[in-house]
Structure 1
Amino acid sequence: MLYGPIAALALIGAPAAPGDLDPTFGSAGKVSTDFERRFDEGRAMAIQPDGRIVVAGEMIRTVNPQDPPQTGDRNFAVVRYLANGMLDPSFGVGGRVFTDFGQDFELAFDMALQPDGKIVAAGESGTRTAGGNFDFAVARYNADGSLDTSFSGDGRATIDFGGDDDAARSVTLQTDGKIVVAGYSGNQSDEASYDFAVARYNTNGSLDTSFSGGGTVKTDFAGGADSAFAVAAQPNGRILVAGSATGPDPEGDFGVVRYRTDGSLDGSFGSGGKVFTDFGGGYDEIDALALRPDGTFIAAGGSGISEDPAPGGAFALARYLPNGKLDNAFGSYGKVETEFTSGLDQAFGLALQADGKIIAAGVADQFINPIGRGDFALVRYQVNGSLDSSFGTNGKVTTDFEGAFDNARDVAIQRDGKIVVAGEGTHPDTTSRDIAVVRYIAR
């Protein structure tokens, strides 16, 4: 039997290593939150200056208790946690808020924190009935989780771009407080009709008419299907919007557009304000952007994405110079691909550490049908794009919740350097999903 300091060391075990779960957060580093034990998903996350963690996504409200968990009315969902992973009782009801726009299918894809503590969530609102119409949807919340009625009258705003399938997929704040939302607009019956769609709001929720004349702009790359999933506001006021664009590769490439502050295309970027990046075959898309202090920026998403007949795909990152050209000092001629499995691996979140290292978070071995599966997946790269061997196993970490479908959607870095990842995790009953948050040791 061991006594004294030796026994204490035995109980403590080996010191935590970079990439390990943080045992001081939630239950052994993980937290799951459900609304009605149906399908709840975290899509975006941000960390407040006081260390509280805000996650936005969707929850499904019960219409008929006998229906399967994935059926019911979908609503915006926002959850706030204390720094230790406990739900914050000062936010909403027991740390949770849901918002209805009056339709049956509404979800938040992204969120942003204002300096005054207010929370902006952006996504879509529509109906699943035949011929249903989907619009951009934006909600702003006060710090306590209540809707901010100084924004668009009741805290909610929607935009119809003219298509029957419009969705806001990303939101960012300009230094002047204006809100920029980006996504796509198109008609479900015509795949080629989809274009990048961007809107800019004044701080009161009205459209900013100094942006492209009416507050909105649509951009087509080359006549095919184009969809934006990420937006970033540069310090000089120019706006980067990124996603997947059809051009030289008919299956879809990384696509990036840069707009001037007035909403016009920035001709000094790429070719006429647009950039394509092909990873060598298959469908490629950007899901996250990160700006670097030197004016370069990193895009992360997936390359070679396919679901049928067999799932496939890899984490894909590209670093661009300020003029839109690939930065050859990063990876292989500006590009990096990372695989976890032979299945569908894809990055959805991106964050930069204070030392410049890059964190990409997403899903490993995703396969939706017939039985959902996948794990949280995290990669840390050196500044030059090489894998950081000091993190996890050769730079990679996976985290499983209950053995079924788990998917990391966003990542952020705390002031102390710890890494927080949010997404969706399988509920212990294995028939439904919860909003899931994980915290990892960084050093």
Structure 2
Amino acid sequence: MNHRSQPSSLPPCGRALFVVLALLVPLTTACGDEDPPVNPGRVDTQVDAGGADASTSTPPDASCVGASCDGGSLPESPDAGGPDGGATTDGGTTDGGAATDGGATDGGPEKPLPLPVDLSAPPELLVRSDGSAVLRVGIARREGFTGPVTLAVRGLPSEVFVADRWVSEGMNAAALVVSVSERVGPGTRLDATLVATAEGRSTSRPLRLLVAGPSFSLDPTFPVVPLGWTDTARSLAVLPDGKLLTAYAISKDVWPGGAKGFVLERHHADGVPDLGFGTLGTATHLRPAVVQLLALKSLPTGGSLVAGTAADCHDNNSATPCTLLVSRHLATGMPDTSFGVAGVASAQFSANPCSGVKLLVDDAGRVSVVVAYLESAQGGADAYGVQRWEADGSPVAGFGTEGKMTFPLPASELRSDQLREALQRKDGTIVIAVSLFDGSGSNLHGLGFIQMNGATGAASWHVESGSSLHRNVVVDGRGRFVSLLSTYAPTYDVIVRWYDENGSRIHTSGGGSMPARLLAIGTADELFFDDAGTPYTVGRIEGGGGLAVVRFTQQGMVDPGFGTNGLVRLDSGLNDLSGITREPNGCLLARTWPEPGLVRMWP
């Protein structure tokens, strides 16, 4: 008898096994290596309309939209789900239509070489919910490739739309418009891939979208005190990749035996500790000669500079030399031993620095520290000093004496002074901005500039005087000094003035009547800028009502068209903001008080 022709004769357990196997066959097919059905979606290639960052020609064949004309259409990624028709990727790189699994399949074609194109774009793009933003992409062709490429953003949900852009031959930049639906809430982070394809080959780089809420509202995903701060004696710097670096002196109450030195901590942009930095996110540097930190500066390499002082800088005795230590650190947090002695260079000035310390670095890697101090040799006169080192930490020859140049203020300058800002010009000249305050009642305030020749250190001094008090001076993205002033009584309005890299006043055209005072006297001390270089400040609303942001016009006056009557009110839970820092994606970080920590605001 042929039992195989009569399944009913199987024993009960055999029948059960047969049924189970029958059910598992389609399940293994669905969950195995076969590709799920592809939803092709809609692919729109946006042709550049011209300009310095756009293509000026159209694809030669409309059927090539979103794909290489000779390499076939690009299959859509099953998880893209978006209207832009994502390309199949593996590890963030498209393959021009060929399936990839880390290498060539058995018996199949070899994986094509990457497209010889380098893409440059910000790692994170800020897009407002129910709005759009422009992603500017640089395209560098190499290895003899000169042809057109197609740019696309893959891996986004359907609530985010980015049209592909075809970039013609000879164009080295393009702009992609990213639009986000209102259904995507503020604080959402979306990981995607920027892809360039041509001739059946591709290259890619990661891209993160950060969805923003209304202007100057708080980022709900970035809580107050995300870094665990318990005091305000911390320095903050934002690294080029958007990570946050903090530095603080070791507390004698925490470390046994009265240890001295400082600690570096690095966090991701969302405040989470970066465990790949130092030891689980922290790098501790025990240095007996450092008891206080004066400055922290991030470097383009991802490393940092730290300036600290020794104990002899805290006795307020102008006869005691003051030693400043500047250390350079690698991106790992460890000392850069190619600088100075084991990563540290030192400078001596005659007494305790009177105000802020500035760190400068030029394109050749030369490091300069700028300080204000008391000059004991001239009866305790206010003076300004600069110590310059080569990239290896040796003093710059010819600049002053052993790389150090000092400049006591003229004896006729009796006003109180404060170091505000410093910049280094392309020719190496260092320009220092000094605010001057007349406390005698004559209200003769001013802004002085010290210029030190980059080769010799030879110094000069010039002053612009007036009745307006310079509350803060910063350098904007164009290498200009920008000053926030309070005008003389009875109005006490806040205005802005620009100065060039030499400290010469830049007179802006236009004018108009001064608006009524909006912020309480003395509460506006910060300046920050948007992408277009427009200045803003923050302070307390006149007559009470919490904190608010004020924007200025290009003529330096308060912009009455900003917000409501020139003001945008901030979250009522904020009592004080300081140290406003702009992140690479445009977000704003600010210290809070009395709760020590940070908040992030949308621009």
Task: Output the TM-score relative to the length of structure 2.
Answer: 0.53
Question: Is the 8 Å Cα contact of residues 230 and 243 (structure 1) preserved in structure 2?
Answer: yes
* Separation in structure 2 between the aligned mates of residue 73 and residue 338 of structure 1, nearest angstrom: 50
Q: CA deviation at 1:22?
A: 2.6
Is contact 2:429–2:453 with CA below 8 Å preserved after alignment? Answer: yes
Alpha-carbon offset, residue 178 of structure 1: 0.7
- Whichever structure has more strand as a proportion of its residues is 1
Q: CA separation of 1:60/1:383 partners in 2, compared to 1, >3 Å: closer, same or farther?
A: farther
Change (3 A) 1:101 1:81: same
Cα gap change, 1:316 to 1:26, in 2 (>3 Å): same
Does residue 325 of structure 1 match 2:519? no
The CA deviation at 1:212 is 2.3
Does residue 302 of structure 2 align to residue 117 of structure 1?
Answer: yes
Where 1:426 maps in the other structure, the secondary structure is: coil
User: What is the rounded CA distance, in whole Å, between the counterparts of 1:172 and 1:242 in structure 2?
Assistant: 14
Q: 1:186 aligns with which of 354, 360, 374?
A: 374
Show the 5 A alignment for 1:328-339. Answer: 328-329=507-508
Structure-1 residue corresponding to 2:149: none
What secondary structure, in the 3-state scheme, does the structure 2 residue paired with 1:160 have? strand
**Distance in 2 between the 1:275 and 1:315 partners?**
21
Q: What secondary structure does 2:346 align onto?
A: strand
Letter in 2 for 1:119: S
Partner of 1:95: 281
Contact 2:321–2:349 (CA under 8 A) maintained in structure 1: no
Kept in 1, the 8 Å contact 2:328–2:335? The answer is yes
1:254 aligned partner, one-letter code: L
Q: Is the 8 A contact 1:126 1:133 kept in 2?
A: no
Distance (whole Å) between structure 1 residues aligned to residue 363 and residue 533 of structure 2: 23
Structure-1 residue corresponding to 2:101: none
Q: Structure 2 counterpart of 1:120, which letter?
A: L
Tell me how far 1:124 sits from its aligned partner: 3.6
Task: Name the SS for the 1:92 alignment partner.
Answer: coil
Contact 1:75 1:107 in 2 (8 A): no
The answer to whether structure 1 residue 46 and structure 2 residue 217 are counterparts is: no
Q: Cα distance, 1:174 vs. partner?
A: 0.9
Q: 2:481 aligns with which of 268, 287, 298?
A: 298
Task: Tell me which residue corresponds to 1:421.
Answer: 589
Distance 1:9 1:410, change over 3 A: closer
Unaligned runs of 5+ in 2: 1-158, 160-180, 187-211
Instruction: Give the helix-richer structure, 1 or 2.
Output: 2
Give the structure, 1 or 2, with the largest relative contact order (CA under 8 Å, sep 6 or more): 1
Equivalent residues in 2 for 1:191-340 (5 A)?
193-223=381-411, 224=414, 226-245=417-436, 253-265=446-458, 272-278=460-466, 280=467, 284=470, 286-292=472-478, 297-300=480-483, 303=486, 317-321=496-500, 324-329=503-508, 340=519
CA spacing shift, 1:380–1:244, aligned 2, 3 Å? same
Among candidates 17, 20, 26, match of residue 222 of structure 2: 26
Distance 1:441 1:46, change over 3 A: same
Name the CA shift for 1:195/1:252 in 2 (closer, same or farther; >3 Å): farther
For 1:204, the aligned partner's letter is D
1:85-119 deviations in whole A, cap 9, x for unaligned?
A: 32222223443445454247311334131x32221
Q: Contact 1:230–1:287 at 8 Å: present in 2 too?
A: yes
Q: 1:302 to 1:33 in 2, by over 3 A?
A: farther
* Native 8 Å contact 1:286 1:301 kept in 2: yes
C-alpha displacement at 1:378, in angstroms?
5.2
In structure 2, the CA distance between the partners of 1:73 and 1:379, relative to structure 1 (3 Å rule), is farther
Work out the CA distance in 2 between the residues paired with 1:288 and 1:149. Answer: 32
Summarize the Cα distance change of 1:250–1:12 in structure 2 as closer, same or farther, 3 Å threshold. Answer: closer
| Percent identical residues | 19
- For 2:505, what is the secondary structure of its paired residue? coil
Q: Could you tell me how far 1:77 is from its partner in structure 2?
A: 4.6
Q: For 1:235-263, what per-residue CA distance to the aligned partner results, in whole angstroms no more than 9, with x for missing partners?
A: 34332211324799887632222232224
The structural deviation recorded for 1:341 is 2.3
Code of the residue aligned with 1:205 in structure 2: it is G
**Deviation at residue 329 of structure 1 after TM alignment:** 0.5
Q: 1:315/1:389 Cα in 2 relative to 1: closer, same or farther (>3 Å)?
A: closer
Supply the AA of the counterpart residue of 1:419. Answer: C
Please say if residues 260 and 287 of structure 2, whose CA atoms lie closer than 8 Å, have aligned partners that are also in contact.
no
- Native 8 Å contact 2:451 2:461 kept in 1: yes
Give the structure 2 partner of residue 269 of structure 1.
none
Distance 2:522 2:397 in 1: 45
- Name the structure 2 match of 1:430: none
CA distance in 2, matches of 1:376, 1:188: 43
Change (3 A) 1:327 1:407: same
Alpha-carbon RMSD across the aligned residues, in angstroms, is 4.5
Q: Counterpart amino acid of 2:214?
A: A
Q: Is the 8 A contact 1:245 1:276 kept in 2?
A: no
Contact 1:291 1:298 (8 Å CA) reproduced: no
Give the AA of the match of 1:240: V
Deviations 1:104-156 (A, max 9, x none): 7311334131x322211235443545757643332211111122222222323
1:392 and 1:109 mapped to 2: Cα distance? 35
**Cα distance, 1:265–1:96 mapped onto 2, change above 3 Å:** same
* Shift in alpha-carbon separation, 1:380–1:167, aligned structure 2, 3 A: same
Q: Which amino acid aligns with 1:235?
A: K
| Structure number, greater radius of gyration | 2
Whole-angstrom distance in 2 between the partners of 1:74 and 1:210 = 35
